[in-house]
Amino acid sequence: MKILVTGGLGFIGSHTVVELVQKNYEVVIIDDLSNSDEKVLDGIKQITAKDVQFEKIDLRDRGAIADFFDKHSDVQGVIHFAASKAVGESVEDPLIYYENNLSSLVYLLKELLAIGRTNFIFSSSCTVYGEADQVPITEEAEIKPALSPYGNTKQIGEEIIKDSCKAYPELNAISLRYFNPIGAHPSTLIGELPIGVPQNLIPFITQTAVGLRRELSVFGDDYPTEDGTCIRDYIYVVDLAKAHVKALERLINQKASTNYEVFNLGTGKGSSVMEVIQSFERISEQKLPYRIASRREGDVIKAFADTKKANQVLGWSSETPLDDALLTALRWEKKIRE
């Protein structure tokens, strides 16, 4: 069965492609290489020892998408990762974000409906909840005004899909709201490849550990949490990738209870920045240089998932403890700096 994975050379995309191929799906990747590297394809092929097709397409090009589906009219499902994801950049250049993340989504859905292929998984984010009134955060939590154009594209993306599912009953879609994906494949053949100075905590930590950065700045230690630092739900990327296969199979096997569903994907456990540092020091057996810095604008204080729905309905749960996930991230960092 042929599955299209857009953004399949990116961080979560590449790990998901591996899981799909290992479950004997035939995968075609679309990626524009704007924030990824063609070498990732070699990594995927090495891990799976199978062929994976790749087409370099910019999804803002509707004609190119139509041509793609002419060639691959037997695609049975789409997992749509392709999007820009840097929060700061989205504030500086919102139109790029709205164009990149939303026009591509609209074109893809239109072309899919045109060929009568309707199983669609959307890569969403816990960012849609903003600062939730309660943790753990359930899927019923209120969607708060987005804190950045990036976050807004995820909210609007979900609305586009929801409205489309209402209007076109043949469309079957699932939005997956990720908490904080981390780590790398145990083979160390694929992992996260941030461009420039990493904005996210774990790549910054691993780059500091290998001497690429002098020290980690902990953004604020005066938050109303036990140790004063912010709390997140760090989910191992391979566990996250497996959830995509589960979600896709739910659609393919027509098990969904409605034609639009939403699931949180996290571990259900919140960890503070200080706890992450401690965990990292434990697994790396080295001290991590850090200093306390001022708060980062737009940071939420506490976000971790209520995972009951994903556990019970999707039959999926996170398996990998934080220490183990951090160890894969460190091994990957060392490998790419060799």
Residues 13-72 that bind ligand UD1 (CB under 6 A): none
Contact between 230 and ligand UD1 per CB under 6 A: yes
Residue 214, Cβ density class (10 Å: 0-12 exposed, 13-18 middle, ≥19 buried): exposed
Hey, how many other C-beta atoms are within 10 angstroms of the C-beta on 141? Answer: 18
Q: Which stretch binds ligand UD1 (CB under 6 A): 163-171, 194-202, 239-247, 248-256?
A: 194-202
Quick one: which of 29, 201, 265, 310 contacts ligand UD1 (CB under 6 A)? 201
Provide the minimum distance between the beta carbon of 121 and ligand UD1 in the complex, in angstroms, as a whole number: 17
What is the Cα–Cα distance from 132 to 138, expressed in whole angstroms? 9
What is the Cα–Cα distance from 85 to 64, expressed in whole angstroms? 23
Structural tokens at position 284: 């790396």
Contact between 199 and ligand UD1 per CB under 6 A: yes
What's the chain's Rg over C-alpha atoms? 19
**Amino acid making up residue 270:** G
Q: Which stretch binds ligand UD1 (CB under 6 A): 32-40, 168-176, 217-225, 318-326?
A: 217-225
Q: Which residues on neighbouring strands pair with residue 124, listed in sequence order? A: 177
Q: Residue 150 catalytic?
A: yes
Quick one: which of 20, 141, 193, 216 contacts ligand UD1 (CB under 6 A)? 216
Instruction: Tell me which residue has its CB nearest to ligand UD1.
Output: 230
| Given 97, 150, 178, 260, the catalytic residue | 150
Alpha helices in the chain (DSSP H): 11-22, 39-48, 62-71, 87-92, 94-98, 104-114, 149-167, 201-209, 237-252, 273-284, 308-309, 322-336
Closer to ligand UD1 at the Cβ: 170 or 297? 297
Site size toward ligand UD1, by CB under 6 A: 20
Contact between 180 and ligand UD1 per CB under 6 A: yes
206-to-65, 104, 214 alpha-carbon distances in Å:
37, 33, 11
Closer to ligand UD1 at the Cβ: 118 or 127? 127
Would you name the residues annotated as active-site residues? 150
Name the residues that contact ligand UD1, by CB under 6 A.
87, 125, 127, 150-151, 180, 199-201, 204, 216-219, 230, 232, 273, 296, 298-299
